């Protein structure tokens, strides 16, 4: 967003709020208000935490540009595709869980956090695991259909984008969990843990991105560094949160996640078999049929292996 857009947005909302008397009012010195102090204490660490992604992006862009013109573009296209399910479902799951976390924290009943946290994490696996498998199997025809023409095709962009896409999708669970556990930290008033986890993520990404680009992975090593950084971020938050709330019941995720994983793998096998039946060069057919087969197989297996969660998922999709 440019400075002009930010300036325009400010005045677009300011005057209607003045007419509606919707601006906050403070008695005396506003900085002495305890609610404002509490908000600022959470705002500054949250700002840094959000900046972690931008720091990693800046570092990785520099490393990719040092490798030539192509790698930076390949990583960008792969990242856009990998973040599609994250933007549609992952952020929504984390955002929806935050009010329930906050309510439980305000009631000072940490045991109530169990239900929304387990539901959020289960929903994350329910959506992201099949998305990971589907994008992995459909990576080649999908990139071919969307990008492989002109200079992109002439410079070998297909091969340069498929591998980092498959690496990025391995981090879909971690990317979503960063949001979920970050919101949980702020809900319980722990603004320090996301900062510590963010610093660990930046250091991990910096070290691995620098080293892995010289291995056989090439620019895909930078994508792997991003995934590892996000995973470290989640692990650090979980370890530190254990000092504040009980997290031993996370083992209850093993059974539903195991069933979801089996259904996702079987779905991936069905999609792979379907792609083998499609003539070479029919990328549009490959992507379309692959998505249909994947949706049908995963839904069918889901209603057999975890029917309650599939019904809940369908209800939420209908509401949206």
% pLDDT > 70, the chain: 76
Answer whether residue 275 shows pLDDT above 70.
yes
pLDDT in tens, 122-156: 888 998 999 999 999 999 999 988 888 777 777 77
Query: What is the per-residue pLDDT for 189?
Result: 77
pLDDT tens across 161-173, in order?
Answer: 999 999 999 999 9
Distance from C-alpha of 48 to C-alpha of 192, rounded to nearest angstrom: 11
- Residue 206 pLDDT: 92
Better-predicted residue by pLDDT, 269 or 117: 269
Please check the confidence at residue 320 and state whether its pLDDT lies above 60.
Answer: no
Q: How far apart, in whole angstroms, are the C-alpha atoms of residue 163 and residue 141?
A: 13
Select, from the ranges 64-73, 83-92, 244-253, the one with the highest average predicted confidence (pLDDT).
64-73
Helix, strand, coil distribution of the chain in percent, nearest 5: 85, 0, 15
Average pLDDT, the chain: 81
pLDDT of residue 245: 76
Q: Any idea where the domains of the chain sit in the sequence?
A: 50-250
CB within 8 Å of 315: residues ≥ 6 apart: none
What does the pLDDT average to over 16-35? 61
Residues 6+ apart with CB under 8 A from 40: none
Measured distance CA(214)–CA(212) in Å, rounded: 5
Q: What is the pLDDT of residues 180-232, one digit of tens each?
A: 888 888 878 788 888 889 889 999 999 999 999 999 899 999 999 999 999 99
Count of CB atoms situated within 10 Å of the CB of 218 = 16
Which sign does the torsion angle of CA 195, 196, 198, 199 carry? positive
Number of H helices, E strands in the chain: 14, 0
């Amino acid at each position: 967003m440019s400075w002009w857009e930010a300036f325009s947005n400010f005045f677009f909302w300011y005057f209607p709020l003045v007419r509606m008397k919707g601006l906050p009012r403070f008695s005396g010195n506003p900085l002495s208000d305890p609610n404002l102090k509490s908000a600022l204490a959470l705002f500054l660490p949250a700002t840094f935490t959000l900046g972690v992604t931008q720091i990693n992006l800046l570092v990785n862009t520099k490393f990719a540009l040092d490798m030539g013109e192509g790698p930076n573009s390949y990583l960008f296209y792969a990242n856009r595709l990998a973040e599609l399910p994250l933007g549609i479902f992952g952020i929504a799951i984390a955002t929806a869980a935050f009010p329930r976390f906050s309510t439980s924290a305000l009631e000072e009943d940490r045991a109530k956090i169990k239900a929304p946290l387990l539901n959020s994490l289960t929903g994350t696996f329910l959506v992201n695991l099949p998305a990971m498998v589907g994008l992995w199997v459909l990576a080649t025809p999908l990139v071919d259909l969307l990008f492989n023409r002109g200079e992109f095709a002439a410079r070998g962009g297909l091969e340069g984008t498929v591998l980092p896409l498959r690496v990025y999708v391995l981090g879909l669970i971690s990317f979503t969990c960063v949001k979920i556990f970050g919101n949980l930290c702020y809900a319980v008033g722990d603004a320090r843990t996301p900062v510590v986890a963010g610093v660990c993520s930046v250091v991990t990404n910096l070290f691995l991105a620098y080293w892995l680009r010289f291995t056989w992975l090439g620019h895909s090593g930078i994508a792997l560094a991003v995934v590892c950084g996000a995973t470290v971020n989640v692990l650090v938050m979980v370890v530190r949160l254990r000092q504040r709330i009980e997290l031993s019941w996370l083992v209850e995720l093993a059974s539903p996640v195991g069933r979801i994983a089996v259904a996702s793998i079987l779905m991936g096998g069905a999609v792979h078999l379907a792609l083998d039946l499609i003539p070479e060069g029919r990328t549009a057919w490959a992507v379309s049929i692959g998505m249909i087969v994947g949706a049908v197989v995963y839904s069918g297996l889901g209603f057999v292996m975890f029917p309650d969660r599939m019904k809940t998922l369908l209800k939420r999709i209908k509401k949206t």
